[in-house]
Amino acid sequence: MCECKSLPDVTEIAWDDSPTFDDGFTMVGNRQDVELRRCEECGEYWQIDVGRGGLAIRVNEPESWSEFDDRPARMQNMIDFHGGLTEGTCAWAGCDRQPLRGMALCPHHAYPMLSWLSD
Ligand SMILES: [Zn+2]
Ligand SMILES: [Zn+2]
């Protein structure tokens, strides 16, 4: 049995005991540092970070994967990593979002590379 159904939509693959998405998966697309892989058993699609640990992100619409924006998933993972948000407002001038726990900045200003605000 594959694990797809029991895994969270964003799964860490950075650790030794985390799922690898190698055995039983077929690579069906790639761009930059990510691959789209399909589970041979259940047919689910996952975007996999290759070569640097990272994340596996469940892809519900593989036909439009070329336009798939993984930043919200990566951002949520980063927020979870910090233990969520905290009271107060971001130290960035004019920003009234809540900061990450233990930090002065909101997620968008702490991780601009993951932010979609400037699009
Ligand atoms: Zn599966
Ligand atoms: Zn901010």
Can you give the pTM of this predicted structure?
A: 0.87
Delimit the domains of the chain by residue range.
Answer: 4-61, 71-114
Ion ligand 2 neighbours (CB, 5 A) are 90, 92, 95, 97, 106, 109
**Where does the pLDDT of residue 65 fall: very low under 50, low under 70, confident under 90, or very high at 90 and above?**
very high
Distance CA 102, CA 67 (A): 33
DSSP-derived 3-state class of residue 80 = helix
CA of 34 to the centre of ligand 2 (A): 28
85 Cα–ligand 2 center, Å? 12
CA–centroid distance, residue 89 to ligand 1 (Å): 41
CA–CA distances in Å: residue 81 to residues 2, 84, 112: 26, 7, 16
CA of 98 to the centre of ligand 2 (A): 7
Say what the pLDDT of residue 73 is.
95
pLDDT of residue 18: 83
Kindly identify the ligand whose nearest atom is closest to the C-alpha of 6: 1
Question: Which ligand is nearest to the Cα of residue 58, counting in written order?
Answer: 1
What span, in angstroms and rounded, lies between the C-alpha atoms of 88 and 100? 10
Instruction: Give pLDDT tens digits for 93-116.
Output: 999 999 999 999 999 999 999 999
